Amino acid sequence: MNVKNVFFAIYEEKQVVLKKLAHNSELRRNIDKLTKNDTTKDILDFLIDDTDTRHFKICDYNSAILFLKLLSYRNFLNIQTMIKLNVEPILLDIFNSRDGWCVPKLYGFCGRLVVVENAGQSLVHVKNFSWFDRAYLAYQILQAAKKFYRQSSTFQALFN
């Protein structure tokens, strides 16, 4: 089944979701912004630049340095591409299910494709739930948001 660059599959007898993280047109639009000569400083400057709020940002320089150290990979072009196009694999790597975060298990990623655990139906299906189940789900989402904001002594995730 394919729903807008989302593919469902089986991996080692587990249901997984494969997600294409950017459309070809998005990559073409942004390719000129991606350079192989970027340094750690270039990536840090992008992370803390507060003039463009459409992208993933980190509040200060020291947090950005710590953020890059936490990542389990070191290919700067790959990091830069993910930060500018779709930060989902980075967030799943840092806020991972192994540490008790309420996110799908990350199996891996390569290029613009990420493989994650199939965690069930999307929130689109909530409209068919009973009022009580919708209220309980809303409560769980609020608890998760609170956890993202308060659990880590290093990072706080803020969503807009």
What string of pLDDT tens digits covers the 160 residues of the chain? 445 788 899 999 999 999 888 777 776 776 666 655 556 666 677 666 666 555 566 666 777 777 777 665 556 667 777 777 777 887 788 777 777 777 889 898 877 788 999 988 877 788 889 999 999 988 988 888 787 777 666 666 655 5
Q: What is the pLDDT of residue 139?
A: 92
Max CA pair span of the chain: 54
Q: What is the pLDDT of residue 23?
A: 75
pTM: 0.66
Q: What is the pLDDT of residue 155?
A: 60
Reported as half-sphere exposure (CB side, CA atoms, 13 A), residue 124 has a value of 3
